[in-house]
């Protein structure tokens, strides 16, 4: 296993490989696929942040929905959604905050107001200034694999070799980020489950997740409540997919994922504790070998 440099974010150290870390989803949007409209006021978002912070390791705050067919909002609207929430959370909580955005200007303002890292679902492909901004700020960045836009991505699911094509695209973006001044040790990757992927392709990613370790970055996976789980279970309501999400998370943990991005913090925290006990080597045993 490749040894990865830990991340230190505020009062927490992320020692990759020792446990599964949880990123709690906080969508301050009216139209996200699972929880749109539930947390799009500062008061409701802050209450959800309190509940998530008790059980997760990072809060991921986003103001732009990336569900299929989502409409792109303008910069001012995105800032109006996320910055007041970040400010309110930071006044009360010390948990690391990730800003879920594809815009360098949003990333910069979010970090200035208390966020700690960038989660870019476009992998740095939408905004040419994202990598230089991340480098100037000196913060970690998560690069996700995506083709097209939320409006077009589900028509772009033809791959020569799914895993190799995803890895090649991620490696290209990592190289671009490093060329812009981002340290390799501050980059994490996300294969992009549900983004320009069919249901069977999502399952293939989960089955072959360990292959991505060769890239040499922490790996994030976001299966939470997604449609491929709903198709398997016959559940149209995303909020009815908690047990299916738990199974997907177990599959990801068996593949040595580092971070899981989830809606149901308390439930998935229990899942991670048991799955880690099954699939991860105890640190003491590793040190003795």
Give one word for 10, left, alpha or beta, with left for phi > 0 and alpha for psi -120 to 50: left
Instruction: Name the CA radius of gyration of the chain, rounded.
Output: 18
Given 81, 108, 197, 261, the catalytic residue: 261
Backbone angles phi, psi at 74, to 5 degrees: -85, 170
* Given 10, 226, 280, 283, the catalytic residue: 226
**DSSP character string of 182-236:** --GGGEEEE--TTSS--HHHHHHHHHTGGGGGGG-S-BEE--TT-HHHHHHHT--
Is position 226 annotated as part of the catalytic site?
yes
- Say how many residues make up the chain: 289
Distance from C-alpha of 110 to C-alpha of 113, rounded to nearest angstrom: 5
Active site residue 207: no
Q: How far is CA 51 from CA 45, 54, 57, 178, 199, in A?
A: 10, 6, 12, 36, 31
Write out the catalytic residue numbers.
226, 261
């Amino acid at each position: 296993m490749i040894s990865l440099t830990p991340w230190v974010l505020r009062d927490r150290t992320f020692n990759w490989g020792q446990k599964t870390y949880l990123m709690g989803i906080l969508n301050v949007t009216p139209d996200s696929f699972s929880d749109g409209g539930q947390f799009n006021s500062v008061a409701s978002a802050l209450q959800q942040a309190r509940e998530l912070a008790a059980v997760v390791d990072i809060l991921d705050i986003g103001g732009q929905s990336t569900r299929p067919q989502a409409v792109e909002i303008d910069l001012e609207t995105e800032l109006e959604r996320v910055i007041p929430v970040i400010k309110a959370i930071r006044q009360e909580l010390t948990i690391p905050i990730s800003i879920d955005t594809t815009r360098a200007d949003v990333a910069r303002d979010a970090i200035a107001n208390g966020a700690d890292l960038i989660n870019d679902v476009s992998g740095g492909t939408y905004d040419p200034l994202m990598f230089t901004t991340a480098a100037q700020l000196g913060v970690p960045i998560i690069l996700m694999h995506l083709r097209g836009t939320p409006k077009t991505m589900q028509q772009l699911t033809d791959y020569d070799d799914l895993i190799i094509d995803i890895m090649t695209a991620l490696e290209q973006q990592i190289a671009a980020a490093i060329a812009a001044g981002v340290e390799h040790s501050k980059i994490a990757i996300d294969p992009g489950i549900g983004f320009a992927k069919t249901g069977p392709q999502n399952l293939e990613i989960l089955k072959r997740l360990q292959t991505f370790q060769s890239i040499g970055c922490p790996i994030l996976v976001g299966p939470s409540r997604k449609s491929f789980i709903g198709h398997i279970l016959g559940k149209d309501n995303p909020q009815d997919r908690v047990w299916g999400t738990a199974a997907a998370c177990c599959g990801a943990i068996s593949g040595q994922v580092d971070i899981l991005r989830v809606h149901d913090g308390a439930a998935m925290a229990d899942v991670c504790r048991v799955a880690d006990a099954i699939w991860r080597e105890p640190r003491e045993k590793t040190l003795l070998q």
